[in-house]
Structure 1
Amino acid sequence: MIEYRTCLLATAALLAATSAHAQTAPSVAADDNSIVVADWRAIPDIIVAAGVAQQPDQIGQAVTVITRDEIERRQTVSISDLLTTTPGVTVSRNGGIGTVTALRIRGAEGEQTLTIIDGVRVNDPSSPGGAFDFGNLLAGSVERIEVLRGPNSVPWGSQAIGGVVNITTVTPTQGLQGRASAEYGSHNSLFATAGVSGGAGAVTAALTGGYLRTDGISAAASGAEPDGYRQYGATGSVGIAFTDDIGLDLRAYYAHSKVDLDGFPPPDYSLADDAEYSTAQEIYGYAGLHANLIDGRFRNRVAFTIADINRDNYDPAYGSAPSFFGRGRSERYEYQGDFKLSDQLRLVAGAEHEDSSYYDGSLTHRSGITSFYGEAIVTPIEELTVTGGVRHDDNRDFGGHTSVGANAALALHEGTTLRASYAEGFKAPTLYQRFSDYGTGHLHPETARSYDLGVEQKFLDGRATVGVTWFHRDTTNQIDFRPCDPADVTNPDTICFHRPYGTYDNIERTRAQGVEFELALHPIEAVTVTGNFSYIDSVNRSPGANFGKDLARRPKETVSVSADYRLPFGLSVGGTISHVGDSFDDAGNSRRLDGYALAGLRAEMPIGDHLVLYGRVENVFDEKYQTVADYGTYGRTAYGGIRVKLN
């Protein structure tokens, strides 16, 4: 480990020394794992979720981009509510805002989505499947979201089986900018945020802060007592340009959340009102040095990142000590080099090491993984971009694993873009799955293979776009929680004798396949229409009683349409309609979750150049539905607010 850190630091020193003597060139330094450096942000179409910064027509995989303008137009508070209206994405939540929220891409487990915030992998080693909990991710500081659908382990490594969600918060700028907003609405909800960014000479900085509190709804659908939520948080970033070609990027993210829960109190031991609650503290940090060599054609990045998540559950009925205690921590050391040899060939290579730990209140469990990868991006003709790569992960506990991937994008002059990709995914069992009270030591790593084909067509001089993507993914050794059969609990030859409530096990095989349809219309400046339809067939392919049955909480069909119209005097009105099909709450498909449709209306009115008044009504028709059996969801709600922007 000492040798690895020394190597990275020596590389950083070499880059700085070499670049100081390089010819002056326009800066194209980019942190290719997040869109944070200002030079790349000047090109708004650049996408990095595929691993390195590329134009959309150079990427052979399906990527959805959500900008700050759309976040504000949709009046988003919880990022998960916005993502659930994107192609191939479904979301389940155990109650109101702030409760455990799982995001699934193309039918994969929520734990198989890799989430990145400002270049930091934020998946939690102390959570059961190592997932990032989207329940606490609020929109106040988010500037941009990229959702890559499908495995992509070559640049991203472990956990990117379902896809990648890459999130960028407010970034430093040279000119002074500021924004603030506050809203109030149903369930005594208050959401307020503020942010400022600016720079002087070689230094730029940005800072945001936010606060949310709500009385909430009952987490138990049968309950009458509301379960509240509170979060305060902040993000910050600093950029220092030592020269035109060398820069330092520092970023930090902090959030502290508290949510009231419902549990399974005696005598019935069924989900009902009680006094349980949970707290979470999330701290993410990034420190990276970038340097450009050879007239800016050789971009280099050395970085250290940290993710520290503390989670505690409390049940006052049993005292003041936590009923669940989890401390998850990941530290990563990264190097990436991106060398544009010519207009036709670009080579990318990287080395990474991650140390992760999980502390359960009595014991600390650790693991580590060292990785090397390389990619070639070839453009044999102007219209065609082919990307291929290989990655080797050496896991401390599970040995080596090699992943390969390739994709191609053909952008024709008639506005047609054809895409094709093959990608592999790899995910080792988590520390919780191995060492918790429900863990088992015989688990095998999950692996996946995915194929997709897509076509995109632009019309009306780019004001209309239609896209269709077909995909197929096979996953081997997928890990899931297996409840124990009562007969096994008394059998000392089974693991259930020691884990009577159940344990984690490999399912062997699952399959997901389907099609995604997307539509975007901007026929005139005042009108914006987007829509998508996804059909996802995700099933268990392991021999046994559940063979051929749907995976839990995976609706087959989802539809979403959003439209906005700005009137000549400035008033904007819009709405979103979403439909989610039927699904099952359990692996045996014995408990159905009925499909549902949700409609929302919104409006905003500018007052002068810097002030906007806005309001919205969600679940207009007061639909009754559940995304997790027995857990409550919001009925009709209404909110109003004010937004200020200075630049």
Structure 2
Amino acid sequence: MNYRISLIALPLLTAALPAHASEQSAQSGPALEEAAAAGDTIVVTANRTARPIDTVGQAITVLDTATIEQRQSVTVADLLRQTPGVSVARNGGIGGVTSVFIRGAESDQTVALIDGVKINDPSSPGGGFNFGELLIGNIARIEVLRGAESVLWGSQAIGGVVNMITRQPTGALTVNARGEGGWHGTGQGVANVAGRVGPVSASLGGGYFTTEGTSAAAVGTERDGYRNYGANGSVNIALADAVSVDLRGFYSNGRADYDGFAPPTFAFGDTQEYSETEQWVGYGGLNVALFDGKFRNRFAYARTQVNRATFDAAQTPAETFRARGRNERLEYQGNVDLNQAVRATFGAEREVSRLFTDGFGAVSNARARIWGVYGQLSVMPVTGLTVSGGVRHDDHDRFGGATTASANGAYTPNGGNTVLRASYSEGYKVPSLYQLFGDYGNRTLRPERSHGWDAGVTQRALDGAVEASATWFHRTSTDLISFVSCAAGAGGICTNRPFGTYDNVARARAQGLELALALRPVEALTVSGAYTYLDAQNRSPGSASFGRALARRPSQSVTMNADYRWPIGLTTGATVTAVGDSLDASAPRGRLDGYVLADARVSFPLSEHVELYGRVENLFGERYQTAAGYGTPGRAAYGGVRLRY
């Protein structure tokens, strides 16, 4: 295919056609703006285009701007752990390595997106994304899609997709800013400016965060701090009614202190180690609408890069490890309205991933390329019923091809008061560059695969004052990649691998129940809750852990949120999260005890543009761990001011 001819010809063609650029793809500026302004009624992640949530057959949760501001969370992970089907484990305080498990899948099997751009780290061992350094900053919306979605989002989408949308351009000039401070020298400042001038709309922002933190090691006494500064930008240029250009960027720079295993005892405890992480995300897209907006096209280039380094002030030289992971993606996506009842989404992608590591006496350089094509058809055969089905094929330059399929349906017999949902989905994850080419790499690895289904119902009553939902899910994962220890002189896969290697030897099964409830008994009071029952087991034949629960995935968790606005304008609220026991081989008796956390918050508007707010986290000083041996913050109080113009 001659991409240069296509990129030139399509804009010329649109100049002769009356068209409008509406309902663009999930990465286009118009779709992101529409979703950000629509609260929880529109989603872009499920179909890679903006669609009403009642027409989506998959389970999806939306955290809109109002919810994010109301809960006052600093990190994305703290919001995700309040979502049905999601559990979180963090090594220490803010900035520590953080794993997000969706429906019991591995954290590396979660696709993370910033404004629709995939941000996984090719230099990490599993090729996934570390949520530990992702602050709320200017993120205005989070969509959490639960269940495999590799047909539309490709590799890693076995557990689900987390799409974080930053503040988008607005018609009028708007300014949002906040600053806060509190416990252990914690302070942050965040600001964003958005507006439109003629054909150009833009949103630009930045932020800074610092804290002295808490000890990363539970037995430690010195504090391990964290510092982060970053920026975000989104610019849309309307070249014509039917043609626009999107330019977007995201930057984050963090330094995190952590603890390690110092000589002579090599026991886990206080050390002078720290890490530095720099992340770049860049995107450029051309949006073209044809045939009066019924055929919408997006051509895009995206590049992400993560630079990581670790240091130990007690060693010479101090730098102990350095890594760089880079992804470059060329994308085409088309959306066609064949008629009022039939819509099609299709596209092609080319991704090149690169890895560089230097540490522990070895230097690694690796590269992999993957091509992908996909298509999905959505049909509304009768009023209230939407049925979608799709297929994807990817070709990897190391292991060959992988094909996945999915189907889902949503039916509402009464205009959205009752919504029945069901879906079948397949997922896959390519072996990471480290698993293929690292010190223990195996170039014959196959992709991890999964297939599963879910079914659920959402019921609304009393003009939206009550909304309840329930979903049952089941997933089987095969060809999971695990490290295999090798004895001296062993043959087969262990030939010339005296310390071990990776192989497709593991299987897992996850099933469970997700419940959600939202109440507004009176205009001033909102109550919401989420409950998850999870049965996630190791099903690897011959494994000593066969039939046991997967590590760090609690079988039960529940979160309740309540907020009340008093007549004087004061708002008070609280969050209570209860998490059950989970397994962790490093913990005493191999088990992490469950815990209950309570947070309280308050806010008060001084004027139309100025609001004071504050919160107390871990109100009762609960001592707990989400990863064995790692400390967690105790009771902490924060206060701040928020400005809106």
Specify the TM-score bucket, using the shorter chain as the normaliser: over 0.9
Distance 2:498 2:192 in 1: 50
Q: Which moved more, 1:567-576 or 1:339-348?
A: 339-348
Partner amino acid, structure 1, of 2:68: I
Instruction: Give the CA RMSD over aligned residues.
Output: 1.8
Partner amino acid, structure 2, of 1:450: G
Please point out which of 50, 61, 64 is paired with 1:67: 64
Distance 2:35 2:229 in 1: 30
Asked if 1:21 corresponds to 2:16, the answer is yes
Partner SS for 1:400: strand
The 5-angstrom pairing of residues 483-502 of structure 1 reads: 484=485, 488-493=486-491
Please point out which of 251, 274, 298 is paired with 2:248: 251
Distance 1:139 1:43 in 2: 20
Q: Cα offset for 1:588?
A: 11
Q: Cα offset for 1:433?
A: 1.6
Partner amino acid, structure 2, of 1:464: V
Partner SS for 2:203: strand
Distance 2:462 2:496 in 1: 65
Aligned-residue sequence identity (percent) comes to 49
Q: Mark the CA change 1:334 to 1:480 in structure 2 (over 3 Å): closer, same or farther.
A: same
Q: Cα offset for 1:54?
A: 1.4
Distance 1:448 1:218 in 2: 38
Partner amino acid, structure 2, of 1:410: Y
Asked if 1:405 corresponds to 2:401, the answer is no
Partner SS for 2:132: helix
Q: Cα offset for 1:496?
A: 7.0
Gapped regions of structure 2 (runs ≥ 5): none
Distance 1:642 1:263 in 2: 37
Mapped contact 1:552–1:589 kept (Cα < 8 A): no
The 5-angstrom pairing of residues 354-433 of structure 1 reads: 354-361=351-358, 362-413=363-414, 415-433=417-435
Mapped contact 1:145–1:167 kept (Cα < 8 A): yes
Which residue of structure 2 lines up, in the alignment, with residue 344 of structure 1?
Answer: 341
Mapped contact 2:36–2:168 kept (Cα < 8 A): no
The 5-angstrom pairing of residues 37-116 of structure 1 reads: 37-39=32-34, 41-44=36-39, 45-52=41-48, 53-116=50-113
Which residue of structure 2 lines up, in the alignment, with residue 466 of structure 1?
Answer: 468
Distance 1:224 1:505 in 2: 40
Q: Mark the CA change 1:211 to 1:338 in structure 2 (over 3 Å): closer, same or farther.
A: same
Partner amino acid, structure 2, of 1:359: F
Please point out which of 227, 231, 234 is paired with 2:231: 234
Mapped contact 1:379–1:385 kept (Cα < 8 A): yes
- Normalising to structure 2: TM-score of the pair? 0.96
Which residue of structure 2 lines up, in the alignment, with residue 577 of structure 1?
Answer: 576
Q: Cα offset for 1:492?
A: 5.0
Q: Cα offset for 1:314?
A: 1.1
- Normalising to structure 1: TM-score of the pair? 0.95
Distance 1:496 1:277 in 2: 35
Asked if 1:518 corresponds to 2:520, the answer is no
Equivalent residues, number: 636
Distance 1:18 1:590 in 2: 68
Gapped regions of structure 1 (runs ≥ 5): none
The 5-angstrom pairing of residues 297-376 of structure 1 reads: 297-361=294-358, 362-376=363-377
Distance 2:495 2:93 in 1: 36
Partner amino acid, structure 2, of 1:458: R
Q: Mark the CA change 1:546 to 1:296 in structure 2 (over 3 Å): closer, same or farther.
A: same
Which residue of structure 2 lines up, in the alignment, with residue 591 of structure 1?
Answer: 590
Q: Cα offset for 1:41?
A: 4.7
Mapped contact 2:425–2:453 kept (Cα < 8 A): yes
Asked if 1:532 corresponds to 2:526, the answer is no
Which residue of structure 2 lines up, in the alignment, with residue 143 of structure 1?
Answer: 140
Mapped contact 1:375–1:387 kept (Cα < 8 A): yes
Mapped contact 1:458–1:464 kept (Cα < 8 A): yes
Distance 2:26 2:518 in 1: 27
Q: Cα offset for 1:321?
A: 4.9
Residues 209-263 of structure 1: CA distance to partner in whole angstroms, max 9, x if unpaired? 1000100111000000100100010001111001111100000000110000101
Q: Cα offset for 1:596?
A: 0.5
Distance 2:246 2:139 in 1: 18
Q: Mark the CA change 1:218 to 1:500 in structure 2 (over 3 Å): closer, same or farther.
A: farther
Residues 288-328 of structure 1: CA distance to partner in whole angstroms, max 9, x if unpaired? 01111111111111111011000111122222353221100
Partner amino acid, structure 2, of 1:420: A
Q: Cα offset for 1:479?
A: 2.0
Q: Cα offset for 1:435?
A: 2.1
Partner SS for 1:261: strand
Which residue of structure 2 lines up, in the alignment, with residue 211 of structure 1?
Answer: 208
Distance 1:40 1:296 in 2: 19
Q: Which moved more, 1:78-87 or 1:505-514?
A: 505-514
Mapped contact 1:377–1:386 kept (Cα < 8 A): yes
Q: Cα offset for 1:441?
A: 3.2
Distance 2:44 2:235 in 1: 20
Partner SS for 2:129: coil
Which residue of structure 1 lines up, in the alignment, with residue 26 of structure 2?
Answer: 32
Mapped contact 2:36–2:64 kept (Cα < 8 A): no
Q: Cα offset for 1:382?
A: 1.6
Partner SS for 2:463: helix
Which residue of structure 2 lines up, in the alignment, with residue 11 of structure 1?
Answer: 6
Which residue of structure 2 lines up, in the alignment, with residue 634 of structure 1?
Answer: 633
Which residue of structure 2 lines up, in the alignment, with residue 440 of structure 1?
Answer: 442
Partner SS for 1:220: coil
Mapped contact 2:19–2:292 kept (Cα < 8 A): yes
Distance 1:302 1:480 in 2: 37
Distance 1:314 1:376 in 2: 51
Partner amino acid, structure 2, of 1:444: R
